[in-house]
Amino acid sequence: MSKFYAKEGQMSMRKCAFCVNYYDPTNSVIAPRLGTGAWEYEANVRKPCRAKANQGVLSNSTCSKFVCKI
């Protein structure tokens, strides 16, 4: 799996992996980079999106319904 980095409050965090609608209750695809304000996420992990009738979406996708959970 490929890992990518995102910074809090920036567009790089606007990914399904960080969205409240992405069904990942254990936050298995994201992890904080301690002391940096940055996060890493795994790309291409498909999980259901609650805003799209549980359709599978990829962790590195995004849409206009994005709501950040961080």
Give me the residues that bind ligand SF4 (CB under 6 A), please: 16, 19, 21-22, 49, 51-52, 57, 61-63, 65-66
CB count within 10 Å of CB 30 equals 19
Of the pair 33, 52, the CB lying nearest ligand SF4 is at 52
| Structure token pair of residue 43 | 């790309």
Alpha carbon distances (Å) from 66 to 35, 43, 63? 25, 17, 6
Of the pair 20, 31, the CB lying nearest ligand SF4 is at 20
Of the pair 41, 66, the CB lying nearest ligand SF4 is at 66
